[in-house]
């Protein structure tokens, strides 16, 4: 649930932002893109630490009282996933923009109409981007364990459970959970591959 | 009854000292001409003459370095572009089905879907209306581009080598449609290398070479008695320098 919510929020931020960065030309656009690209490789533990410092009682957002809650985990995951979704969707839309730029200018399409058309026409390719974001979300452990606290029935997710069981020496359970996570990840990759081949069949490259 | 073009405030089209420089290279050099409302104007010239850039400037897709273009009293821009359509040399189509491509423009222009069926029929695409654009041939794509250009019911239609490298049947369909829309007093501005096609369609000719307009005039005069050496060489199929 935490991963799905994070992914949804990251998509609502990342896809329109990636599209706007692909079709609009402005100062510092390339710098902004370089920053977003570098954020793709953000160390989760560092993100967890920064979110922790902000949400802890003495931090600037401590008054919210959301540390060690699923909300804190969602915030940390959105920070991790949004740059991935933005950068990858930017690349896809930029390729499409080569084809559509003159057409939309000729048709006097308004920016919002253009953005919707870009997202709609690259929907199959964007699905693979979303799945890549989801893959990152479900496999993440560093950030969510710091800001979530790994509280049973509240903020414990599969990855943090694996970490806990390993530290307790309960390797059989940890390995079992790991295999389940691996199967989920494999299913997601297969789905991404199938969608990509489907999109190549039904839209032209 | 007065024609649509003669009552439009978009004419004459005045091009005044138009220049376009890219990377310190003068691609359009001080172009000046006037296009009247009636008839089809064909822009001819060898490769690299600046024809496509000139049409892009006329349609407002490229911004000239110097000079002005006026449609009647209107400067070129969004207001003039919404009364024009353009068919590009390589078909620019949405990655959707044939009918969805037409619906997109109909929605943008707040037109109803009724005349889409008629346009599909005229461009011989009725049977392909639900087919994805990716599966169309080059000729079918270009016919769809023309159908889409006509959805908005433009006053001026630009065609940038719209029939180059197409099969004779597609050329025939496109030319027939051009004749039909010309009768509805739509101003057509066409770029072509095909001298025979220009002879069939043109009322006026603009001949360009090396980014300059070398000759303008009626098609009859141009084909019977071209004035410039470049135009003579072009019509004879010789190398144009």
Give residue-wise pLDDT tens across range A48-89: 899 989 998 888 888 998 888 889 889 998 999 999 999 999
Rounded to the nearest 5 degrees, what angle is found at the Cα of A69, between the Cα atoms of A67 and A72? 65
User: Are A99 and B82 an interchain contact pair (Cβ–Cβ within 8 Å)?
Assistant: no
Q: What is the ipTM of this complex?
A: 0.88
Q: How many domains does chain A have?
A: 1
Task: Dump the DSSP string for B55-77.
Answer: HHHHHTSS--SEEEEEETTEESS
d(CA B157, CA B177): 12
B165 — phi, psi (to 5°)? 55, 30
Confidence of residue B114 (pLDDT cuts 50, 70, 90): confident
Interface residues from chain A to B (CB-CB < 8 Å) = 96, 99-100, 102-103, 105-109, 113, 117, 121-122, 202-204
For B87-106, what is the mean pLDDT?
92
For B39-48, how does the pLDDT look when each residue is reduced to its tens digit (9 = 90+)? 899 999 999 8
For B208-226, how does the pLDDT look when each residue is reduced to its tens digit (9 = 90+)? 999 999 999 999 999 999 9
Q: Token pair of B161, please?
A: 């080598």
What is residue A188's predicted lDDT score, i.e. its pLDDT?
79
Burial class (CB in 10 A: 0-12, 13-18, 19+), B22: exposed
Residue with tokens 């603009």, as numbered in its chain: B206
| d(CA B115, nearest CA chain A) in Å | 18
Q: Residue B167 in 3-state DSSP?
A: coil
**Best of A97, A100, A101, A103 to disrupt the B interface by mutation (most B CBs within 10 Å)?**
A103
Is B63 near chain A, with CB under 8 Å?
no
User: Are B94 and A203 an interchain contact pair (Cβ–Cβ within 8 Å)?
Assistant: no
- How many contacts, defined by CB atoms under 8 Å, are there between A and B? 44
Task: Give, in words, the CATH class of B4-83+156-235.
Answer: alpha beta
| d(CA A122, nearest CA chain B) in Å | 8
Confidence of residue B241 (pLDDT cuts 50, 70, 90): low
Nearest Cβ partner of A106 from B61, B95, B132?
Answer: B61
* Domain ranges, residue A156: 2-202
Query: What CATH number is given to the structural domain containing A194?
Result: 1.10.3720.10
Cis peptide before B12 (omega within 30 of 0): yes
Which of the 8 DSSP states describes residue B123? Answer: T
User: Are A113 and B86 an interchain contact pair (Cβ–Cβ within 8 Å)?
Assistant: no
d(CA B123, CA B125): 6
Q: CA quadruple A19, A23, A29, A34: dihedral positive or negative?
A: positive
Q: Is the pLDDT of residue B1 over 50?
A: no
What is residue B238's predicted lDDT score, i.e. its pLDDT?
74
| d(CA A201, nearest CA chain B) in Å | 9
d(CA A16, CA A180): 33
d(CA B93, CA A106): 12
Q: What is the mean pLDDT of chain B?
A: 89
């Amino acid at each position: 649930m935490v991963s799905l919510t994070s992914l949804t929020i990251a998509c609502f931020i990342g896809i329109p932002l990636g599209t706007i960065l692909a079709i609009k030309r402005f100062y510092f656009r390339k710098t902004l893109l370089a920053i977003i690209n570098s954020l793709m490789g953000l160390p989760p533990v560092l993100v967890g630490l920064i979110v922790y410092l902000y949400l802890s009682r003495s931090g600037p957002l401590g008054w919210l009282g959301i540390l060690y809650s699923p909300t804190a985990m969602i915030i940390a995951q959105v920070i991790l996933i949004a740059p991935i979704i933005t950068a990858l969707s930017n690349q896809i839309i930029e390729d499409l923009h080569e084809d559509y730029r003159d057409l939309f200018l000729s048709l006097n399409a308004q920016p919002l109409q253009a953005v919707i058309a870009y997202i709609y026409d690259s929907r199959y390719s964007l699905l693979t981007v979303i799945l890549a974001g989801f893959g990152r979300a479900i496999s993440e452990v560093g950030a969510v364990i710091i800001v979530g606290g790994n509280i049973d029935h509240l903020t414990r997710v599969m990855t943090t459970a694996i970490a806990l069981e390993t530290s307790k020496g309960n390797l059989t359970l940890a390995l079992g959970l790991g295999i389940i996570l691996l199967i989920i990840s494999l299913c997601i990759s297969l789905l991404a591959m199938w969608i990509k081949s489907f999109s190549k069949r039904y839209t032209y490259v | 009854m007065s024609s649509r073009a003669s009552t439009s405030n978009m004419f004459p089209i005045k091009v005044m000292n138009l220049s376009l420089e890219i990377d310190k290279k003068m691609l359009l050099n001080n172009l000046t001409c006037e296009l009247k409302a009636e008839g089809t104007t064909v822009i001819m010239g060898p490769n690299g003459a600046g024809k496509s850039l000139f049409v892009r400037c006329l349609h407002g897709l490229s911004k000239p370095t110097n000079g002005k273009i006026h449609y009647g009293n209107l400067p070129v821009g969004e207001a003039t572009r919404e009364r024009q359509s353009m068919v590009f040399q390589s078909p620019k189509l949405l990655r959707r089905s044939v009918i969805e491509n037409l619906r997109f423009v109909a929605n943008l222009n707040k037109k109803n879907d009724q005349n889409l069926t008629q346009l599909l029929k005229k461009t011989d695409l009725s049977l392909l209306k639900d087919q994805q654009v990716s599966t169309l041939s080059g000729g079918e794509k270009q016919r769809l581009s023309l159908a889409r250009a006509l959805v908005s019911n433009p006053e001026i239609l630009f065609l940038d080598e719209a029939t180059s490298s197409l099969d004779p049947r597609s050329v025939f369909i496109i030319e027939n449609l051009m004749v039909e829309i010309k009768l509805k007093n739509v101003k057509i501005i066409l770029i072509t290398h095909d001298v025979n096609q220009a002879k069939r369609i043109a009322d006026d000719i603009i001949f360009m070479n090396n980014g300059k307009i070398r000759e303008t005039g009626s098609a009859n005069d141009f084909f019977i008695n071209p004035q410039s050496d470049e135009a003579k060489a072009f019509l004879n199929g010789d190398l144009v320098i």
